[in-house]
Amino acid sequence: METQTTLEHRMLTDTLGAFGEGITTILSAERGILLLEGWLNALRGDVGAERILAELGELRDHLKSEQYDSDKIRHLLLSLASHTTALSHEPSVDQATAGQLKQLVNALRNFSSQL
């Protein structure tokens, strides 16, 4: 369980780093695919993560197809942001992690608005 938590925290840090601090984010499809693969590995086996895993997998597969549908990508990012918001309010999530999750929600929403 400790390895799982560590991997999830590492993915959270890596993802926030990829999105950066600014409003404008430049994230290649290849980098996005790598991040999505990391999240799929980090969340695999988590109880209650099935829906998020399905959406992460769908987004990864869509990016791999190289026939990008901006509306579909935007919808998946906003859905992931919604799930992440709910997760940040879970009682089991510590305050520091909740803060990072809220940063991730903002990054996902900002990125989706750039598509």
In this prediction, residue 113 carries a pLDDT of 92
pTM: 0.90
3-state secondary structure at position 101:
helix
In this prediction, residue 10 carries a pLDDT of 94
- Structure tokens given for 94: 């510590």
- Of 57, 58, 84, the C-alpha closest to 69 is 58
What is the domain partition of the chain in residue ranges? 3-114
- Of 114, 91, 96, 89, the C-alpha closest to 27 is 114
Handedness of CA 48, 39, 102, 109 (dihedral sign): negative
Q: What is the mean pLDDT of residues 33-47?
A: 93
In terms of phi and psi (left: phi > 0; alpha: psi -120 to 50; beta: otherwise), the region of 66 is left
Torsion, Cα 104 25 19 52, to 10 degrees, reads 50
Residue 60 has pLDDT above 90, yes or no: yes
